[in-house]
Amino acid sequence: MLNCQAPEAIKELILSARVLDGNKIRDEIKLELAAQIEELRRAGITPGLAAVLTGDNPASHIYVRNKVKMCAALGLHSEKIELPSETTTEQLLKVVEDLNRRDEIDGILVQLPLPPQVDAKRVLMAVDPAKDVDGFHPVNIGNLVSGRPGLVPCTPAGIIEILKRSEVPMKGARATVIGRSDIVGKPVAMLLLHQHATVTIAHSRTRDLPAVAREADILVAAIGKAALVTRDFIKPGATVIDVGINRVTTAEEVRQIFRDPAAPLAELAAKGSVLVGDVQPEDVKEIAGAYTPVPGGVGPLTIAMLMANTVRAARERRAVTSDK
């Protein structure tokens, strides 16, 4: 285990550690997308996104509202289809089939999670792969694995954009992804592999997980557990990408996570929760060479890449060749 007192070499890294600002990178992508959307509009095309929201999950309502808001800001057509919690699999399949047939809809987003009575895999499989802007359909996953062009899951695509635009070297780097989900862990590992990184996928059952993580030049934490990744996981100078979005709701948890809990406790009192990533927020600042904060790191890129996928789907479905 690493000594909790940072040696001189690590102290130098503390001074040069970079915050990888997801909001700034999102804004760069929005400007690029605005130019592409204007080009499509000159060709008589307005890309369209349909978001299907089933049930009363508060977080899902926030996510969909933010996606619709960004569509409006960019000049995309968007539709929000809200269905009750008791919606059946067959009813949801019918909605998806109708959207598949509508030519003005280029992207279909089925917001997860779905109510327990709905067969989520059947619903996601029913989305036309050409309109699958979440990148979850097996056709698009197959394209990703085989290195063919296709729609890529949004959060993994956003992670690669952060690394590229922050000029973090991926070619030849040792990369470790903690987490093996179909939505983040597996696809980001594949994308890193396509960038010529040497990739390890680790998870909750990996033996000596901290030691495996410490080998990484690029460490992606996507395991969904607040502050699991502490200083013992981080190689000095590594780039740490924190995908986690965890809400801490008790003072006891705050005190366990933060060495100086005063500010987080004040936030807890004001808001009722504190947002924490999968990485211990104080340790990463002291050990990493560069890192994404929570909030303001990976999160903003997820919606930006959804917009990018929608524009790409519109271009490819309608066979528009870019003049860029």
Q: Which residues of 128-149 are buried (b: 16+ CB within 10 A; e: fewer)?
A: bbbbbbbbbbebbbebbeeeee
225 is a catalytic site residue: no
Q: Which of 128, 132, 134, 217 is catalytic?
A: 134
| Cβ neighbours of 77 (radius 10 Å) | 16
Active site residue 24: no
Sheet containing strand 198-202, strands side by side: 18-19, 290-291, 239-242, 218-221, 174-178, 198-202
Residue-wise pLDDT tens digits, 113-131: 999 999 999 999 999 999 9
Q: In which band, very low, low, confident or very high, does the pLDDT at 318 lie, cut at 50, 70 and 90?
A: confident
Architecture of domain 43-128 in this structure: 3-Layer(aba) Sandwich (3.40)
Report the pLDDT averaged over residues 308-312: 98
Rounded to the nearest 5 degrees, what angle is found at the Cα of 101, between the Cα atoms of 151 and 36? 45
DSSP state of 128: -
**Confidence (pLDDT) at 17:** 78
- Which residue in the list 67, 131, 186, 235 is annotated as catalytic? 67
Residue among 36, 106, 111, 242 flagged as catalytic: 111
Q: What average pLDDT does range 196-210 have in this prediction?
A: 97
Do residues 110 and 123 make contact, with C-beta atoms less than 8 angstroms apart?
yes
How far apart are the C-alpha atoms of 23 and 119, rounded to whole Å?
A: 35
pTM: 0.91
pLDDT class of 307 with cuts at 50, 70, 90: very high
Residue pLDDT, tens place only, 137-182: 999 999 999 999 999 999 999 999 999 999 999 999 999 999 999 9
Cβ(262)–Cβ(209) under 8 Å?
no
- Yes or no: say if 296 and 23 are a contact pair by the CB < 8 Å rule: yes
CA gap 226, 315 in Å, rounded? 39
Render pLDDT for 228-249 as a digit per residue (tens, 0 to 9): 999 999 999 999 999 999 999 9
- pLDDT for 324 equals 46
Confidence of residue 321 (pLDDT cuts 50, 70, 90): low
Q: Is 207 left (phi over 0), alpha (psi -120 to 50) or beta?
A: beta
DSSP per-residue string spanning 233-252: G--TT-EEEE---EEE-SHH
67 is catalytic: yes
Minimal CA–CA distance to 151: which of 318, 322, 314?
314
Decide whether 43-128 matches 153-300 in CATH topology: yes
Q: What is the pLDDT of residue 274?
A: 94
pLDDT for 65: 92
Tell me which CATH homologous superfamily contains domain 153-300: NAD(P)-binding Rossmann-like Domain (3.40.50.720)
Look at 322 and 139; give whichever has higher pLDDT.
Answer: 139
Q: Could you tell me the residue ranges of all domains in the chain?
A: 43-128, 153-300
pLDDT in tens, 62-103: 889 999 999 999 999 999 999 999 999 999 999 999 999 999
For the segment 196-224, the average pLDDT, to the nearest whole number, is: 97
Q: Coil, helix or strand for 226?
A: coil
Amino acid symbol at 105: I
For residues 131 and 312, what is the distance between their CA atoms, to the nearest angstrom? Answer: 10
Question: 289 pLDDT exceeds 60?
Answer: yes
